């Protein structure tokens, strides 16, 4: 799919959920003109109109409705991938050893219950 951009899909989802370009832009932390360009690029890529622009906001066209479920599935998959990569059980494991002079280690690093156990 040449020219396809995931950011365009995220813009599509934001506008379809918010219903208004300015609200979606604010939620995404971008300028409304950026979102407008992204939707125009997505519509050009697919060759269909995804939204009817009205004074009350952006309404999905029938083609936009069909794209919405697939876009939400893509978002779900992306979130699942990110969650798996950020899973704490996949984090670092093992022991950490610190070398210090005895006095510093005994009085500053070791908890009080460890000092009594080593004495």
Condensed to tens digits (0 to 9), the pLDDT of residues 8-37 reads: 999 999 999 999 999 999 999 999 999 999
If one compares 119 and 13, the residue with the highest pLDDT of the two is: 13
Q: Which of 30-39, 65-74, 93-102 has the lowest mean pLDDT?
A: 93-102
In a domain, 94, yes or no: no
If one compares 100 and 3, the residue with the highest pLDDT of the two is: 100
Query: Can you state the percent helix, strand and coil of the chain, rounding each to 5?
Result: 65, 5, 25
For residue 71, give the nearest of 49, 50, 92, 47 by alpha carbon.
50
Domain that holds residue 11: 6-88
Amino acid 119: pLDDT: 47
Location of structure tokens 């950011």: 7
Contact indicator for 35, 24 with CB cutoff of 8 Å: yes
Contact indicator for 10, 28 with CB cutoff of 8 Å: yes
Amino acid 93: pLDDT: 72
Residue 26: which CATH number? 1.10.10.10
């Amino acid at each position: 799919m040449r020219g396809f951009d995931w950011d365009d899909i995220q813009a599509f989802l934001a506008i379809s959920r918010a219903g208004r370009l300015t609200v979606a832009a604010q939620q995404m932390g971008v300028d409304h003109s950026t979102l407008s360009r992204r939707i125009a690029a997505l519509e050009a890529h697919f060759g269909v109109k995804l939204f009817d622009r009205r004074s009350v906001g952006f309404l999905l066209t029938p083609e936009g409705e069909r794209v919405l479920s697939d876009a939400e599935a893509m978002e779900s998959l992306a979130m699942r991938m990110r969650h798996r990569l950020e899973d704490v059980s996949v984090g670092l494991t093992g022991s950490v050893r610190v070398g210090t002079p005895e006095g510093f280690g005994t009085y500053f690093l070791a908890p009080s219950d460890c000092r009594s156990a080593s004495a």
